[in-house]
Structure 1
Amino acid sequence: MTITDNLARIKKGLPPGVELVAVSKTKPVEDILRAYNSGHLTFGENKVQEMVSKWEQLPKDIQWHMIGHLQRNKVKYLAEFVSLIHGVDSLKLLREIDKQAKKHNRVIKCLLQVHIAEEDTKFGFDPDELNELVESKELPQLPNAQIVGLMGMATFTEDQLQIRREFKALKNLFDAVNAQLPEISILSMGMSGDYEIAIEEGSTMVRIGSSIFGSRNYS
């Protein structure tokens, strides 16, 4: 199966209202171009340097999503072009995004990352921290960093009940936050191994890489 075939198959299986982010990390620009030429415009990267390099080489109507952990000192490299930052896991990072976006006269869309996994390796706000931020007076003071939704990653496990439980918890949090911030509309959860469960539990955005581009070589 080619990249184009894989994309078509996955898109056909997605319900209306669920957006696909093709995760192109570690993949060459040629692979991204194949997907782009089939009509797909939204790609996810998790390393700033790699993303900037690809942005410089590829068509400018591509929507670049930063899906990895983002350090504050790296925001300035993305601020000119990034479409959506998935992993906003602190108020300090949000302030930095706002500051760098202002310099380019842009509004950068952001997702607040919530820690839902039972493993400790994931980043993100816990539910209490999330509520504190949403209820704070800080968000209206950051007009160039626009919160448009939440993102979370389930535990890396074969236990589908656990994965479903974690996604369900994030959907409940999303609904609670949405009641306070009606403008949020994106719930980014689900990757190649668990996106079907994520969609059943209310995901509106899935991040799929290896099922499109094939397995990764990290060497």
Structure 2
Amino acid sequence: MTTTATLLDRYALVRDRIAEAARRSGRTERDIILVAVTKHADPTQIRVLLEAGHRDLGENKVQQLQQRVALVDEYLDRLRVLSGTRDAREKSADVLGEARGPSALPAPVRWHMIGHLQRNKAKKVVECCRLVHSIDSLRLAEEIQSVALRRDQVVDVLLQVNCSGEDQKHGCPPAAAGALAEQIDTMVNLRVRGLMTMAADTRADQDAAQGEAATRAAFSRCRDLFEDVARLRLGGGAFNLLSMGMSSDFEIAIEE
């Protein structure tokens, strides 16, 4: 069982590795958003991250996303009930890393949908998420636009691109990304914020150097594509997010 101290040590280590990778690439840690995926975390571990000031949480399955959102909302609501309005504002702000003070309101957790999304689950995701990372087709974008329109809501989205070339990976082909992004940008309730990609799965017959080279190539390809699409001035000028890297390769993603 992971103790609170161990979890906080691991969290600090990841943040240190992010900062070091950012320095190697001539950037700062503030340029990087760490999304903590909660699928294997228990409620106590999620609360520990909240108390450490972390606000960006992600899920790759819709049912788990709904459960985690409800869990976090209940936790923050309980702070308000137990502590009273003013104390709750201060404690919730402290939990979420915001400025304290009598006028401070609890900053919301930013939920990210990072997994493949089916059109019939679009409504549930729009209700929960701050950013949808996995838009990979016009039909899916149209469904989310329809849901967002009914809710009178603007949804931030990333276009998922298959930069590894693997058949089993979701995502639109790189050659189609610009045109698809332009089509999505015409939807008044969607805002295209950037691109997302996943590196190739490491094969059993690859050595470490080959695997790293393949990973770096996929991330580099996505970064180049991101720069090309950014010239289209999509998302009202807010096309500025590149979602890459998981626990095994996030440093390479930052460097690229």
Normalised TM-score (structure 2) = 0.74
Give the gaps of 5 or more residues in structure 2: 23-27, 77-107, 203-207
**3-state SS of the aligned residue for 1:124?**
coil
Match of 2:247 among 180, 192, 195: 192
**Higher percent of residues as helix:** 2
Match of 1:172 among 215, 224, 231: 224
Deviations 1:70-119 (A, max 9, x none): 00000111212310011110011111111112222221110000001132
Provide the rounded CA distance (Å) in 1 between the counterparts of 2:156 and 2:249: 25
Letter in 1 for 2:6: T
Count of equivalent residues? 199
Normalised TM-score (structure 1) = 0.85
Match of 1:98 among 128, 134, 145: 145
**3-state SS of the aligned residue for 1:180?**
coil
Residue 10 of structure 1 aligns with which residue? 14
**3-state SS of the aligned residue for 1:19?**
coil
Please give the residue correspondences for 1:133-212 in structure 2 after superposition, counting only pairs within 5 Å: 133-135=180-182, 138-157=183-202, 158=208, 159-181=211-233, 182-201=237-256
Q: Does the CA-based 8 Å contact 1:79-1:104 persist in structure 2?
A: no
Provide the rounded CA distance (Å) in 2 between the counterparts of 1:81 and 1:120: 30
Deviations 1:135-182 (A, max 9, x none): 4xx334312111100000010114111111111111110000001124
Provide the rounded CA distance (Å) in 2 between the counterparts of 1:139 and 1:78: 18
Identity %: 38
Q: 1 or 2 for the larger relative contact order (CA 8 Å, sep ≥6)?
A: 1
**Higher percent of residues as strand:** 1
C-alpha RMSD of the superposition = 1.6
User: Which of these two proteins has the greater Rg computed from alpha carbons?
Assistant: 2
